[in-house]
Amino acid sequence: MKKINWNQMSELGLIERINREILHPLGLAVSRNPENGCSEAILVADDGVWEYGNIPTTVLSDEEFKNKFIKIISEIR
């Protein structure tokens, strides 16, 4: 069985999707440490609201996701 870490999840746009679609409406957010690829905590918004502001999205189209996922998986030993 192969595994991917949270850095790879981020590269695939999955952390942003999880945050935007599931956790942010609940006042929560997944965080990750880019140095080790681990998620060390779920953050809780003080006021119960998460907003991204004007930052570029990392969410990929289905086709982009499939291609990038295949590449990531093929590089895992």
pLDDT of residue 38: 94
On whether the pTM is more than 0.85, the answer is no
Residue 77 is assigned to a structural domain of this protein:
no
Question: Distance from CA of residue 49 to its chain's centroid?
Answer: 18
Tens digit of each residue's pLDDT (9 = 90 or more) over 49-72: 887 677 788 889 999 999 999 999
Residue 18 is assigned to a structural domain of this protein:
yes
Tens digit of each residue's pLDDT (9 = 90 or more) over 3-53: 999 999 999 999 999 998 999 999 999 999 999 999 999 999 999 888 767
Of 50, 45, 15, nearest in space to 30 by CA: 15
pLDDT of residue 71: 95
Residue 10 is assigned to a structural domain of this protein:
yes
How many structural domains are present in the chain? 1
Residue 55 is assigned to a structural domain of this protein:
yes
Residue 41 is assigned to a structural domain of this protein:
yes
Domain containing 38 equals 6-65
pLDDT of residue 49: 85
Alpha-carbon distances of 44 from 15, 21, 50, 64, rounded to whole Å: 16, 16, 9, 31
